[in-house]
Amino acid sequence: MDLAKEIARFPNTGRFLAGRLRHDMSEAEKEELERLVEQTSTAGDGDRIVERGEQCDRSTLLIEGFVVRTIENDGRRYAVSFHVPGDFVDLHCFALKRLDHNLDCIGPARFGHVSHAAILDIMQRRPHLARLLWFQTLLDAAMHREWIMKLEQLTAPRRIAHVFAEIWRRLEMVGLGYADGFDTPLRQTDIAQMCGTTAIHANRALAELRSKGIADFQRGEVRIRDRDKLEDYADFSADYLYGDGALALRTIAA
């Protein structure tokens, strides 16, 4: 499957589950999904797309840009996950109705909106596509679990290396990675929030990654010479992303 062609044919949804189960979608399903996007919108750096507790009757697909999920507490912000283009950032809102967290843009972003009524219709008419949607929400949970282990286990530099390894793989799956790294609007503060540390310590940890030749972060440009070295250092194994590793599945029933 040629990803560039997919994106040309399906400008809003061409990256949905790319590198994962997109190959298991029929032409009809792809067209149906693309039609689900009733409306698109844009937002800028720091904009809040969804606020904790607000009731929603539609879900949001990230078409371009970066989004973080955050929870606020005592005025401090904690990031619990992040999203790349092609992700349905709040599909779980379909069943939860109110979210337990916020969705914030990092850098400019573009979104597609899908009403919950339309998703309900899909569930009944197209169970296979519905199951793929469910799958995507479970991917989020799998990534959460990996983050929990990462936080329980790794030191700050290794956590950052782990985040870099994950971002790089996920961007590659949707055609946005480079051979020697990736670009991101993330600041050091954002990285710190994703790794449960302070911006100051994140800065020192980044310096260490640089001096060890593991990853070079410079104002949003991440350059990595040796992927194995990075992934070894971070104790990273991409299985949990359900791409083509040990846990991958090729098709899904119904």
Partner DNA sequence: CGCATCCTTGAGGGCCATCAAAATGCGTGG
Partner DNA sequence: CCACGCATTTTGATGGCCCTCAAGGATGCG
Q: Which residues contact DNA by CB under 7 A?
A: 155-157, 187-189, 196-201, 203-207, 218-220
Q: Which stretch binds its own copies (CB under 8 A): 120-128, 168-176, 181-189, 202-210?
A: 120-128
Work out the burial of residue 27: count CB atoms within 10 Å of its CB; fewer than 13 is exposed, 13-18 middle, 19 or more buried.
Answer: exposed
> Which of 8, 96, 199, 207 is close enough to bind its own copies by CB under 8 A?
96
Q: State which residue, 13 or 197, has the beta carbon closest to its own copies.
A: 197
* Residue matched to tokens 């990092």: 106
Q: State which residue, 96 or 199, has the beta carbon closest to its own copies.
A: 96
Binding-site partner at residue 84 among its own copies, DNA, none, CB < 5 to 8 Å by type? none
Q: Give residues 16-55 in contact with its own copies (rule: CB under 8 A).
A: 53
- When asked if residue 200 is in the footprint of its own copies (CB under 8 A), the reply is no
Identify the H or E element spanning 183: strand 181-183
Give the residue from 91, 96, 82, 87 showing the smallest Cα distance to 54. Answer: 96
- When asked if residue 81 is in the footprint of its own copies (CB under 8 A), the reply is yes
Tokens coding 86: 């092609």
> What whole-number distance in Å separates Cα of residue 179 and Cα of residue 168?
10
Q: State which residue, 60 or 70, has the beta carbon closest to DNA.
A: 70
In the chain, where does DSSP find H-type helix?
3-9, 27-36, 93-96, 116-125, 127-153, 156-173, 188-195, 199-211, 227-234
> What whole-number distance in Å separates Cα of residue 216 and Cα of residue 32?
42
Binding-site partner at residue 100 among its own copies, DNA, none, CB < 5 to 8 Å by type? its own copies
Torsion angle (degrees, nearest 10) of CA 94, 1, 176, 32:
-30
Binding-site partner at residue 53 among DNA, its own copies, none, CB < 5 to 8 Å by type? its own copies
Q: Give residues 219-248 in contact with its own copies (rule: CB under 8 A).
A: 235, 239-240, 242, 246-247
Give the residue from 183, 161, 174 showing the smallest Cα distance to 227. Answer: 161
Q: State which residue, 174 or 195, has the beta carbon closest to DNA.
A: 195
Give the residue from 97, 94, 212, 85 showing the smallest Cα distance to 157. Answer: 212
Q: State which residue, 63 or 195, has the beta carbon closest to DNA.
A: 195
Q: Give residues 145-184 in contact with its own copies (rule: CB under 8 A).
A: 145-149, 151-153
Q: Which positions lie near its own copies, rule CB under 8 A? A: 53, 69, 71, 73-74, 76, 78, 80-81, 92, 94-101, 116, 120, 123-124, 127, 130-131, 134-135, 137-138, 140-142, 144-149, 151-153, 193, 195-196, 235, 239-240, 242, 246-247, 249, 252-254
